[in-house]
Amino acid sequence: MNFLEIIRQSIDSLLRNRTRSGLTMLGIVWGLVTVVLLLSYGQSLGAGILNGFLGIGNNVIMLWGGQTSMQAGGERAGKRVKFLDGDVEAVRDAVPFLKAVSAETDDGFSFKYGPKVVNIQSKAIDFGYGGMRRLNIAQGRYFEPADFSEHRAVVIFGPHAAQKLFNGFPPVGETVQIDGHSFLVIGVLQTKIQDSSNNGPDNENAFIPFDMMRDLANQRDPNMIVFQPSSPEMHLKAIEAVRAVLADRHHFDPKDEKAVSAWDTIEDSKEMMQFSTALEVLLGIIGAMTLGVGGVGVMNIMLVSVTERTREIGLLKALGAHRKDILTQFLLESLTLTFLAGLAGMIVAVAVAWVIPPMPLYSDIYKTANHEGDIILHPSLSVMVVSFGILAVVGIVSGLIPALRASRMDPVVALRHEQ
């Protein structure tokens, strides 16, 4: 008996017992809808949380000075390490596998526009900073190299900082006073979903070229060094290399992690991804248990089918059918029932997922457009593949016991069975 013939017989059997088959399939449909929706929820929630964390930047590592805990170069432990003018250039020249390096200095300044004066946290940065930290422009432009080489007094606002100072008036092209110095507004950032930050979220900050700190606060030394390795896999090597350069310049042991502290967002993002995966696995297990209830229904109907077809099984064995033939036939019948219900369940799941509106996660906080940052239950291809994988396991397990029972029947006893 070929595969297509078994499928045809399975469908005929389902049609002969429409009510029983329909109720059994309903359990599978319900279970599969649950699996798809739970996996979609877990995937969307995990992606949203990871995206919120990665608002800090793309594979960014931040260093700031600390206090030595080891003796080195004749220096006692306990020495304060403070970055100096030239450290960023030294790192940039000595470490070739960095994609970008930037100084950063944070300070609060008084911004004046017309009669209004507002205190805004500001970051003085180098040119490569924007790409690392995902500073995408909504209005105007980002800094260009000439802004740094020509020491231009220009400023870029985060959207919330711009709203605070300008009250909705278009800021690009306007001139503001920063601690008495005139700055031209060249851009406003896109609203960014950002769970993690250093010295305030970017939406609330203003950004100026690093050299302008010399005019505003008479400061040449950076508070932090921000860099991005050429590939995420090299993040530990990059931290080690940068710390070695700084150790040579500031005379501390390069193995002394307390001398220069690091925030490795690459390592943190890996932990976030592990959390997301664990959440999806947990929800998948819950969904699989629900689908397993439907599998019990399939097992029940197949056991009933085996009992009803006992004489048919005996006749097949008497005509030369082997145990594996009987096993295959009943297992395929179980899988046919399961996957027909699964196909219907997948259609229902996708329809329900599109009907359910986005569930707020970040949109209310950051006032994003088009539900950016919300939990949206639109099943991805990976979710559907995993769901069908779970369905296959349930189908095989629930069909195997009745199929084994059918294959082990004694043909003589089976032929004597009374209907």
Smallest CA-to-CA distance from 183 within 112, 83, 274 is with 112
**Residue 319 above 80 pLDDT?**
no
Helices (H), 134-234: 145-149, 159-166, 213-216
For residue 154, the model assigns a pLDDT of: 96
Considering the chain, what is the average pLDDT of its residues? 86
d(CA 63, CA 81): 11
For residue 20, the model assigns a pLDDT of: 76
For residue 315, the model assigns a pLDDT of: 73
**Residue 414 above 60 pLDDT?**
no
pLDDT category of residue 60 using cuts at 50, 70 and 90: very high
> Which segments within 221-308 are labelled E, that is strand?
224-229, 260-264
CA distances from 384 to 213, 263, 288, 419 (A): 54, 37, 13, 42
Cβ–Cβ under 8 Å, residues 280 and 374: no
For residue 329, the model assigns a pLDDT of: 76
Q: What is the pLDDT of residues 325-355, one digit of tens each?
A: 777 777 777 788 888 888 898 999 999 999 9
**Residue 1 above 60 pLDDT?**
no
**Residue 241 above 70 pLDDT?**
yes
Report the chain's terminal Cα–Cα distance, integer Å. 25
Q: What percent of the chain has pLDDT over 90?
A: 39
d(CA 130, CA 300): 62
Burial 15-36 (b: 16+ CB within 10 A, else e): eeeeeebeebbebbbbbbbbbb
Q: What is the pLDDT of residues 28-50, one digit of tens each?
A: 888 889 889 999 999 899 888 88
Q: Hey, where are the domains in the chain?
A: 3-54+270-416, 67-97+230-258, 104-225
**Residue 74 above 60 pLDDT?**
no
Q: Which residue has the higher pLDDT, 412 or 365?
A: 365
Cβ–Cβ under 8 Å, residues 300 and 402: no
Q: What percent of the chain has pLDDT over 70?
A: 93
Q: What is the pLDDT of residues 80-134, one digit of tens each?
A: 899 999 999 999 999 999 999 999 999 999 999 999 999 999 999 999 999 999 9
